Amino acid sequence: MLAAPRMQRARRTVAGGADRNISIAAVALAMPVALLASACGSGDAASPTTVKVMRGSVERTVSATGTLQAIDEENLGFAKGGRLTQLLVAVGQQVNAGQPLARIDDFEARNDLARAQARVAREQAALDKIKDSNQTDAADHDSDRAKDVLGATRDEADEIENAHDEELDQAHKQLGQDQDELKRVQASSRGDQDRCNRSLTGGSHRYDGYGDNADVTSRDRRGLLLESPLDMHAPSCERSDRGKAATASLRKRIDSDHDQIRRIQRQQQIENAKQRVAIEGARRDAGQARDAATGAASDRPHDIDAQAAEVADAMADVTEAQRAMQDTTLFAPAGGKVASINGTVGEYVGSASGTSAQAPGGRGALPNLDSGVGGKDDSNNKAQRPGGSSFLTLKDVNSFQVVAPFEEADAQQIQPNQKVNLTFDAVPGLTRAGRVASVAPTGAQINDVTNYYVTVVLNELDPRLRGGQTAEANVVTGGADNTLLVPTAAIQRGGDVGVVQVLQADGTIRRVQVQLGIIGDSTTQILAGLQEGQMVVLAG
């Protein structure tokens, strides 16, 4: 059994409340730091250190420490089982590192990749639609039109009110004229009636005022002119009768004028009520249009960020599907000779899950099932390997391997053929690539913690490497390319969300909540909340 490593240097990162050994490294990112100079007085505090939000690549890794061991045999298998479609090598054949050895059916992997790529295209199209949308402009135009309608409705109400006022003024004017005319006619009629009553005929005769005796008059004792007693026609009586008729007609006309005024006032009340309803409706529509325009303007950047996060999530699915597609081909992690192959084209091959079982007291591997070693010569009594069988075995391998224990939460993420970055205490600055060969099917208790041993084979060698040296294996379990990144130091984290301080164009600082993706030692993926080119403030 492998001895427990003498030390385990796993960097701890808390994500989503879980406390486990996680090492997350950012790669292929150049993050220039811009120091914003400010012309403050000598007593002012230093300007904040800011960095620009940029695009780059980030990898999520889990880490553990083990010891370099020279190997001459390696068991290989596929990350996921499937039907064997191609066998590219034969037993006894010498192979080189990176050479393809076999392939399984990739139908499901190709379909998954195609679906993931289609989703990226769909989500990207939705993002482009939001960016190119004129929804904000249309909402502004609707708001402007609603304002115009409100103004026109108010103008119409004013015009109707003015028309009714003019009509009412005209009716009052006509009433006044008719009332004045009534007073004049009544006054004249009373005088005629008095003269008629004082005439000799007592108002029983008619007089046109133009007879032969029209100038024959007399006066009463008060000196008032009396009509001639010789004339049978009294003109005052005639005028009095006409005055009475005119008075009656004017009274009717005045009553009609009052009716007209009341009708106009009633109509004015009805029209005013209608116009108030119309104005309130137009005001409501204008308010709704204004709110819609304001909401469209404020929601647009958040809609873009949310859809950009969907694009990033879809791209992560593409990365996983591409990895699954790559895993349908088995590559030689190191050079060696093919010692055994367990499977033929058309058969179903299971996934690799076992490490090389070692013989007691040494580092040699236990024999395979059909080696005939141990027990009686009985086909039903064959040596059973604790690590299980493997699809393909390489011998005469001139490389190193690292067997490192990973805590169970980290081991759950590790699959054969995953990329590994290895660093070495004895050779500072040296990094070598490797791949996961296998993961132990059962756990081992180390310091009361369940760990799973993972075998990593180096793909690259260096003359400075020696057996027994301490190596840290950083297994890449996920990553993202062409994604928004900011320094981890600029984020106040809380699970899957965080807060960053964004430097505004006017020099002020605004706190912005962001959605976090892959969290690295130096950089963190931003799924939503920021845009490329913004400046964020580094803490401290």
- pLDDT tens per residue across span 352-368: 654 444 434 334 444 44
Residue burial 119-152, b: 16+ Cβ < 10 Å; e: rest: bbeebbeebeebeeeebbeebbebbeebbebbee
- pLDDT tens per residue across span 94-130: 998 889 999 999 999 999 999 999 999 999 898 888 8
Q: What is the mean pLDDT of residues 188-201?
A: 75
Total number of residues shown for the chain: 540
**DSSP of 106-127:** -HHHHHHHHHHHHHHHHHHHHH
Q: What is the mean pLDDT of residues 416-425?
A: 90
Task: Report the distance separating Cα 379 and Cα 132, nearest Å.
Answer: 73
The answer, yes or no, to whether residue 370 has pLDDT greater than 90, is: no
Q: How confident is the model at residue 151 (pLDDT cuts 50, 70, 90)?
A: confident
Cross-sheet strand order for the sheet of 82-87: 329-331, 100-104, 82-87, 348-349
What pLDDT does residue 108 have?
92
- pLDDT tens per residue across span 164-180: 888 889 889 888 888 88
Q: Say if CB 185 and CB 247 are below 8 A apart.
A: yes
* 3-state SS assignment for residue 148: helix
Task: Report the distance separating Cα 23 and Cα 64, nearest Å.
Answer: 9
Task: Report the distance separating Cα 140 and Cα 164, nearest Å.
Answer: 36
The answer, yes or no, to whether residue 471 has pLDDT greater than 90, is: yes
What pLDDT does residue 100 have?
93
The answer, yes or no, to whether residue 295 has pLDDT greater than 50, is: yes
Cα atoms in the Cβ-side hemisphere of radius 13 Å centred on 65? 13
Q: Which residue intervals of 133-229 are DSSP H helices?
A: 135-198
The answer, yes or no, to whether residue 460 has pLDDT greater than 80, is: yes
Task: Report the distance separating Cα 340 and Cα 248, nearest Å.
Answer: 133
Neighbouring CB atoms inside 10 A of 431's CB total 13
Classify residue 539 by its DSSP letter: P
Name the CA radius of gyration of the chain, rounded.
Answer: 52
Neighbouring CB atoms inside 10 A of 448's CB total 5
Task: Report the distance separating Cα 456 and Cα 403, nearest Å.
Answer: 6
The answer, yes or no, to whether residue 64 has pLDDT greater than 90, is: yes
- pLDDT tens per residue across span 492-532: 887 778 899 998 888 888 888 888 888 876 888 998 888 88
Q: Give the residue with greater pLDDT, 248 vs 387.
A: 248
What pLDDT does residue 427 have?
93
Termini Cα distance of the chain: 48
Q: Say if CB 328 and CB 105 are below 8 A apart.
A: yes
What pLDDT does residue 57 have?
86
Name the least confident of 26-35, 170-179, 327-336, 436-445.
26-35
Q: What is the mean pLDDT of residues 57-84?
A: 86
Q: Is the pTM of this model over 0.75?
A: no
Q: Give the residue with greater pLDDT, 103 vs 13.
A: 103
Tokens (6 digits) for 278 = 């119309």
**Which stretches of 382-534 are assigned E, i.e. beta strand?**
392-407, 419-424, 431-439, 444-446, 449-458, 470-487, 492-494, 497-503, 509-519, 523-528
Q: How confident is the model at residue 223 (pLDDT cuts 50, 70, 90)?
A: low
* 3-state SS assignment for residue 281: helix
The answer, yes or no, to whether residue 7 has pLDDT greater than 50, is: no
Classify residue 362 by its DSSP letter: S
What pLDDT does residue 24 have?
36
